[in-house]
Structure 1
Amino acid sequence: MQRDGTVPLDETFTETIEHYGRSYQHYSLTNGTYFAPIDEDEISRLEVMHGVLSRLFDGRLIFPPIRSPRRILDCGCGPGDWAIEVATQYPDAEVLGIDVSPHMIPENPPDNMELQVDDLNGRFTFRSNHFDVVHSQMVAGGIHANRWRSYIRDIFRVLKPGGWCQMVEIYFNAQSDNGTLSRDHALSQWSRQYLESQQPYKDPRAPLQLASWMRSAGFTEVESRLLTLPMCGWSSVPRDYDIGRSNTDNVNQLLYSLALYPFTQFLGMSFSDFQLLIAQARSEASNPAFKAYFPVYVCIGRKPRR
């Protein structure tokens, strides 16, 4: 399989830092790359979230109409749940997963799956016109604000003519389906402070611009879908109710794990105030009366055949 761009696994990527009992990658914190933990608790949460998104997507791993992809690139693969499922579903395909954290990467991937440690903020060194599908999911927390356009151009370059890009991002701006969530509620405060804490390192509103950036990079047949990801079981539709119920634990954990470092380090929030805000936000997120949800953006685009 293609190995261009592999970064030697040394202390640059393996060193960790403890912060209020959670483990973080030293490289990511010092380079402003990723501010969420990389410990077992976070790996377990990401696995739960993969299951939730799988339900939201009705089990579809690849949205574009492609039957037999030969080479698939998964950017920001994390624990590798999506890549493992794709490698299993397409046993004749070569699947390559990339993540900045070796602590996340699974130890025993399928035979047709390869894993590399690399920072997506560096320019791609893969060959041009190489992959049939490039999958990019939940990388907004790891892509620098000024990297997005060149990141999508890199994806365009490494795709074969006729190849597809699929991008999935959650916009962490809590919404209420019945309008009962006000600015004064803790969940709304969490959202505002989370978006604030990511800047200037990240662009927390990147999910809203994926389609525009893809078109600017040269993609055609661009389609964007906005989905509702309920935070708990509040919907009257059985399918959506089940998705919400399965998402409750993920939301309770992410409200804490995604915000702990940026809130206490960048916003100067005391740990006691942080704990209080999280407790209140969790209570509101799990209260069906608020009908709270996060918007999810799914965007696909195709590299022209000529």
Structure 2
Amino acid sequence: MSTPVDPARPQPAPQPRGRSTSIIDAENAGELARLMQQDRLLTEALGGLLPEFPEGAPLPEGGRVLDLACGPGGWALAVAFAYPNVNVIGVDLSPAIVEYATAQARSRGLDNVHFQVMDVMEPLAFEDGSFDLINGRLLCGFMLPAAWPRLLAECRRLLVPGGVVRLTEMEEPLTSSPAFERLMALGCQALWRAGQSCSPNGQHLGITPVLPRLLRQAGLVDVRLRPTVIEWSAGTPRHYSVFKDFLIGLELVLPFLERQGLATRAALTTLYQQAVAEMQADDFCALWPLLTVWGRAPEPGRPAPARPADRALS
């Protein structure tokens, strides 16, 4: 799939290796705490660590798991604890985040999980067929559209035959808050302007519609989808945890919106304050849509289906 070039959309400049394209500084203390809380929230809301496999996770004794852009390591640490007979590796671009995750593993006495500094938009320093399972969650906050096919090609290379890659991505929440909706619209437009959106027009994040096709284009088979919708309306069990996630996240994303020239800092701050008030109103209603997509590396003797003729994202 290719997106027509829009002259109004600035094309992303080549990024130096190791340079972060994240819209939020992951090493910010508030962001670190938010990501740890978000990991727990997502695991619970999605139905567990590996809910797509009710018959049992694809993790043999001594199996290996790779967690892409692992952040502070919440999911990787939980998998290492739940599956003590497998080895888990988390990779992230930030040395400080990797150091934090490593300290967490040591403090919990987990010797089957390790963390390394790597950029998932570059070739990964592992041998072919190194992993039984590769996981990634909410990579859309930093991934460039052209990097998705390269990453999934790497995932296929790194999987053992029959190994699984599973990715969970999101679209912007749907809410009854005018100010929150405006901030989400500005966020989608900012990502589009920065060349970091899969949307054709910047009206949404755009990754979930194309993700299944991207897996098939990478040569993965048995591609499946599992949608999840988190309700976080006022008075519901998940209202506070999701509200807190966006309370911190929206404030940290304001500089990115300002840099894209969408509004002044003063206007954005006022809009943010209005959104915070509206999210706490008794009649606030909200849904957060997520999609988990997974597929397997072809196994010997089992022919892979023909790849779609369409082109990858550009």
Q: Which TM-score tier does this pair reach, normalised by the shorter chain?
A: 0.7 to 0.9
Structure 1 portions without partners, runs of 5+: 1-26, 235-240
Q: Once the 2 structures are TM-superposed, how far is the Cα of residue 32 of structure 1 from its aligned partner? A: 5.6
Indicate the SS of the match to 1:289. coil
The residue type equivalent to 2:169 in the other structure is: E
C-alpha contact 2:70 2:91 (8 A) present in aligned 1: yes
Indicate the SS of the match to 1:298. strand
Q: Once the 2 structures are TM-superposed, how far is the Cα of residue 151 of structure 1 from its aligned partner? A: 1.0
Corresponding residue of 1:140: 140
Once the two structures are superposed, residues 59-109 of structure 1 have per-residue CA deviations (whole angstroms, 9 ceiling, x without a partner) of 334634425341000001000000001111111211110001122232422
Indicate the SS of the match to 1:283. helix
User: Is 1:262 aligned to residue 261 of structure 2?
Assistant: no
C-alpha contact 1:72 1:94 (8 A) present in aligned 2: yes
Separation in structure 2 between the aligned mates of residue 255 and residue 29 of structure 1, nearest angstrom: 27
Sequence identity of aligned pairs in percent? 23
Separation in structure 1 between the aligned mates of residue 250 and residue 17 of structure 2, nearest angstrom: 19
Indicate the SS of the match to 2:71. coil
Corresponding residue of 2:84: 91
Separation in structure 2 between the aligned mates of residue 149 and residue 209 of structure 1, nearest angstrom: 11
C-alpha contact 1:222 1:299 (8 A) present in aligned 2: yes
Corresponding residue of 2:72: 79
The residue type equivalent to 2:57 in the other structure is: I
Separation in structure 1 between the aligned mates of residue 297 and residue 209 of structure 2, nearest angstrom: 21
Separation in structure 2 between the aligned mates of residue 168 and residue 112 of structure 1, nearest angstrom: 24
Equivalent residues in 2 for 1:103-252, closer than 5 Å: 103-105=96-98, 106-108=101-103, 109=105, 110-171=110-171, 173-176=172-175, 180=176, 185-199=178-192, 200-203=194-197, 204-234=205-235, 241-252=236-247
Corresponding residue of 1:237: none
C-alpha contact 1:229 1:293 (8 A) present in aligned 2: yes
Q: Once the 2 structures are TM-superposed, how far is the Cα of residue 30 of structure 1 from its aligned partner? A: 9.3
Pairing partner for 2:57 from 63, 66, 91: 66
Q: Once the 2 structures are TM-superposed, how far is the Cα of residue 162 of structure 1 from its aligned partner? A: 0.5
- 1:35–1:162 CA distance, 2 compared to 1 (3 A): same
Separation in structure 2 between the aligned mates of residue 170 and residue 60 of structure 1, nearest angstrom: 17
C-alpha contact 1:231 1:285 (8 A) present in aligned 2: no
Indicate the SS of the match to 2:237. helix
Aligned length: 266
Q: Once the 2 structures are TM-superposed, how far is the Cα of residue 285 of structure 1 from its aligned partner? A: 3.0
- TM-score, normalised to structure 1, is 0.80
C-alpha contact 1:93 1:112 (8 A) present in aligned 2: yes
Structure 2 portions without partners, runs of 5+: 1-14, 198-204, 301-314
The residue type equivalent to 2:173 in the other structure is: A
C-alpha contact 1:63 1:166 (8 A) present in aligned 2: no
Separation in structure 2 between the aligned mates of residue 123 and residue 274 of structure 1, nearest angstrom: 37
Corresponding residue of 1:15: none
Corresponding residue of 2:10: none
- 1:288–1:299 CA distance, 2 compared to 1 (3 A): farther
User: Is 1:295 aligned to residue 286 of structure 2?
Assistant: no
Moved more, 269-278 or 78-87: 269-278
The residue type equivalent to 1:71 in the other structure is: R
Q: Once the 2 structures are TM-superposed, how far is the Cα of residue 132 of structure 1 from its aligned partner? A: 0.2
- TM-score, normalised to structure 2, is 0.78
